[in-house]
């Protein structure tokens, strides 16, 4: 039984999700105390419970403490059973975060699987579907498994109601050496909104044009979705390098000016584009699981986040193999897997 203090490191739901995935692959049970102890509202939330239930269902696990508000979680895995599954998060809990929990165990299974995930597709503090489709999954597909994801319906916080479908054809993971992102190959920015005044989206795009003056006019777009898919607004800025794509996003919030969201997201992306790194801050922590389970390889990234460091520490505890993180003279950081 691996004992984990959920308040350490990143201190949030990532500890729960990665522990479930690693447990299913390794067969090692775990117990987390102080679940999400680093958050203002500790304990499991609805989307975390759904992620645990999804992991338990595909892996025949025995689970204790999988309830909203629970501060302790115990998970004893069984054998992973690929197949067709449907998981509904409820309200606008992130479908992408549930996918992260079950993807690697199913990608290493002995038969294909198909997932239907319902809930939020564009959420605060979670990767939007566009990031999963265009940034994360292309790297997974390079490692061997074939994973195809489709957005059927958008779902914004707080209403939710979104739907994604995922087909997974498993294979063993091949280690990759992702050291160079390559030169900047263009970018685009889009604001998706529904059930809100058009003026909010206009202000976001106007600020993005100011922040990214070298980008052509046709790189910026606004798209209005049907009102029953909202209300909500998200801006997404995509930077394409020769070998990878990164997406920075900003989710509309009450009390936060549209211009500030646009400036912050653009600043994050400009820092990544200027670096020589392969992975941006959002992609880096999500690559730890597949790279660690591949048993080798390396990638470079920008300044390490708390999520990245926590993901590394968890992977080392479950797998018993060293993962090194060191800064290179050029300023980027190298993450290498034994």
CA distance 103 to 59: 12
CA distance 204 to 200: 6
The verdict on whether 307 is a catalytic residue reads: yes
H helix or E strand, kind and range, residue 148: strand 146-153
- For residue 292, CA distances in Å to 33, 286, 314, 338 come to 24, 11, 10, 8
| Sheet (strand 62-64) strand order | 2-5, 30-33, 73-76, 62-64
From 122, 154, 307, 333, active-site residue: 307
What's 71's DSSP letter?
S
Secondary structure of 234-245 in the HEC alphabet?
EEEEEEEECCCE
Whether residue 116 contacts residue 183, with contact meaning beta carbons closer than 8 Å, is answered with no
Please identify every residue annotated as catalytic: 307
């Amino acid at each position: 039984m691996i004992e984990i203090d959920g308040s350490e490191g990143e201190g949030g739901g990532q500890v729960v999700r990665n522990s479930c995935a690693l447990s299913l692959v390794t067969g090692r049970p775990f117990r987390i105390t102080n679940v999400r102890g680093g958050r203002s509202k500790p304990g499991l939330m609805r989307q975390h419970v759904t992620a645990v239930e999804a992991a338990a269902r595909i892996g025949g696990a025995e689970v204790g403490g999988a309830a909203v508000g629970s501060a302790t979680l115990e998970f004893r895995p069984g054998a992973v059973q690929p197949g067709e599954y449907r998981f509904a998060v409820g309200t606008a809990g992130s479908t992408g975060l549930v996918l992260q929990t079950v993807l690697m165990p199913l990608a290493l299974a002995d038969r294909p699987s198909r997932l239907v995930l319902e809930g939020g597709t564009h959420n605060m503090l979670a990767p939007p579907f566009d990031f999963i489709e265009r940034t994360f999954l292309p790297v997974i597909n390079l490692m061997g498994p074939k994973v195809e994801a489709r957005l059927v319906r958008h779902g914004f916080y707080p209403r939710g109601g979104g739907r994604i479908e995922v087909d997974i054809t498993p294979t063993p993971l091949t280690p990759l050496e992702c050291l160079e992102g390559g030169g900047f190959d263009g970018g685009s920015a889009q604001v998706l909104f529904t059930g809100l005044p058009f003026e909010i989206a206009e202000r976001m795009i106007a600020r993005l044009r100011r922040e990214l003056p070298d980008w052509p006019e046709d790189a910026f777009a606004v798209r209005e979705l049907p009102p029953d898919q909202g209300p909500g607004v998200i801006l997404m800025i995509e930077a394409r390098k020769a070998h990878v794509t990164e997406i920075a996003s900003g989710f509309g919030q009450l009390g936060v000016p549209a211009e500030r969201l646009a400036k912050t997201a653009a600043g994050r992306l400009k820092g990544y584009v200027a670096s020589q790194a392969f992975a941006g801050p959002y992609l880096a922590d999500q690559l730890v699981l597949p790279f660690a389970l591949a048993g080798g390889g390396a990638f470079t990234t920008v300044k390490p986040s708390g999520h990245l460091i926590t993901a590394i520490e968890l992977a080392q505890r479950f797998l018993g193999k060293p993962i090194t993180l060191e800064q290179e003279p050029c300023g980027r950081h190298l993450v290498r897997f034994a």
